[in-house]
């Protein structure tokens, strides 16, 4: 029976072997830095240290959207953090985010640098700093923040749960895949029902709730994540698909999705972003052609 196992947990767990399949190198049971390494600092007020995963895309999309609105103070340098190489365990990164996860932001626009970590906190911080993508009317603000925090609580079941066991775990475990597939489909149904009655998650306006949810669930129904679109029958979630396409049509979203990206077509990868012109001159296909 696929649900059976010869493994019996010991009385006390010990870390005596790598664990995590493809991502074993980024997992360990302790926090703190493993080596001394200062972070680079560019010329813009905002310094982002990240990777183009769904969590990283939230922040780069937000920054590109702010710039598209004309907020010059949202100019930023996006430095690549290669988590497979352990960059997130360097002393400089740990000083910005003691949790050693991307993304991490330093705001150097004021007299004292401000660190912000966790993607939801960064989105809220930027929305409040620039007065954009977060409603001020109390009921609309509450709806926006509710969906933002829905994403924070739900996405681990999609990523660390379903995505890990379906796509990355060294062995396929039917029980684990079934458990998390059921939960992800429930989440997609939650989104689909909401988007049947509302253009965007928080209402009629595009907000940080959409910016947070789209890289995870938009990417899933677009077929970009885990190769699981057919397995999860994403075509059943027509309102999510409509919403995903609407958001992907935004130029700022397309730009934000490219920043710190290490996979996909070379023309879609901008490993580091230090100026708006980098999208035209420093994508991987352009750099390869210049060599």
pLDDT in tens, 163-210: 999 999 999 999 999 999 999 999 999 999 999 999 999 999 999 999
Q: How far is CA 113 from the centre of its chain?
A: 24
Q: What are the CA-CA distances from residue 64 to residues 12, 78, 127, 262 (Å)?
A: 48, 11, 13, 19
Q: How far is CA 110 from the centre of its chain?
A: 27
Containing H/E element for 48? Answer: strand 46-50
* Residue whose C-alpha is closest to residue 55's, from 128, 151, 141: 151
b/e map 158-170, b = 16+ CB within 10 Å: bbebbbbbbeebe
Alpha helices in the chain (DSSP H): 54-68, 91-96, 119-130, 138-156, 174-197, 208-213, 219-221, 238-248, 251-258, 278-281, 284-290
* Residue whose C-alpha is closest to residue 25's, from 165, 166, 168: 168
Q: Would you give the end-to-end CA distance of the chain in angstroms?
A: 55
3-state secondary structure of 46: strand
* Residue whose C-alpha is closest to residue 256's, from 200, 224, 214: 214
- How crowded is residue 128: how many other Cβ atoms within 10 Å of its Cβ? 13
pLDDT confidence of residue 240: 98
pLDDT averaged over every residue in the chain = 95
**How far apart, in whole angstroms, are the C-alpha atoms of residue 267 and residue 168?**
26
pLDDT confidence of residue 3: 52
Both tokens of 114, joined, read 């401000």
Paired residues of 117 in beta bridges: 104
pLDDT(233) > 90: yes
**How far apart, in whole angstroms, are the C-alpha atoms of residue 125 and residue 123?**
5
pLDDT band at 1 (very low <50, low <70, confident <90, very high): very low
Both tokens of 143, joined, read 């709806």
pLDDT confidence of residue 99: 97
pLDDT(102) > 80: yes
SS3 content of the chain, % helix, strand, coil (to 5): 55, 10, 40
- pLDDT over 90 percentage in the chain: 92
pLDDT confidence of residue 15: 87
Q: What is the mean pLDDT of residues 265-277?
A: 98
Q: Which region among 18-22, 116-120, 132-136, 173-177 has the lowest average model confidence (pLDDT)?
A: 18-22
* Residue whose C-alpha is closest to residue 228's, from 182, 162, 176: 162
pLDDT confidence of residue 22: 63
pLDDT tens digits, one per residue of 192-205:
999 999 999 999 99
Q: Which region among 1-10, 203-212, 237-246 has the lowest average model confidence (pLDDT)?
A: 1-10
Q: What is the mean pLDDT of residues 11-27?
A: 75
pLDDT confidence of residue 24: 62
Q: Which region among 7-11, 160-164, 229-233, 283-287 has the lowest average model confidence (pLDDT)?
A: 7-11
Q: 251-258 vs 54-68: helix axis angle to the nearest 10?
A: 140
pLDDT(4) > 60: no
Both tokens of 265, joined, read 């077509």
More confident residue, 65 or 19: 65
């Amino acid at each position: 029976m696929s649900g059976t196992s010869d493994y019996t947990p010991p009385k006390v767990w010990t870390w005596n072997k790598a664990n995590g399949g493809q991502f074993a190198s980024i997992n360990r049971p302790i926090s703190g830095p493993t080596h001394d390494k200062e972070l680079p600092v560019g010329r813009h007020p905002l310094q982002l240290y990240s990777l183009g995963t769904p969590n990283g895309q939230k922040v780069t999309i937000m920054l590109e959207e702010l710039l598209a609105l004309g907020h010059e103070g949202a100019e930023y340098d996006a430095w690549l953090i290669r988590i497979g190489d352990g960059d997130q365990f360097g002393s400089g990164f740990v000083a910005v985010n003691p949790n050693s996860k991307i993304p991490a932001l330093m705001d150097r626009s004021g007299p004292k640098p401000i660190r912000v970590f966790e993607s939801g906190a960064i989105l809220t911080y930027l929305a409040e700093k620039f007065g954009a993508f977060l409603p001020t009317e109390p009921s609309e603000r509450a709806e926006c923040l509710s969906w933002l925090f829905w994403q924070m609580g739900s996405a681990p079941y999609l990523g660390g749960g379903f995505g890990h066991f379906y796509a990355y775990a060294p062995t396929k475990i039917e029980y684990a895949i079934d458990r998390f597939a059921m939960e992800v489909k429930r989440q997609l149904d939650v989104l689909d029902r909401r988007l049947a009655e509302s253009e965007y998650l928080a209402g009629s306006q595009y907000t940080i709730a959409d910016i947070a949810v789209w890289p995870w669930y938009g990417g899933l129904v677009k077929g970009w994540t885990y190769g699981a679109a057919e397995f999860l029958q994403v075509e059943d979630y027509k309102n999510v698909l409509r919403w995903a396409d609407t958001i992907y049509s935004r130029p700022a979203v397309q730009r934000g999705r490219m920043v710190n990206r290490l996979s996909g077509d070379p023309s879609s990868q901008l490993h580091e972003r230090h100026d708006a012109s980098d999208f035209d001159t420093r994508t991987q296909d352009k750099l390869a052609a210049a060599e």
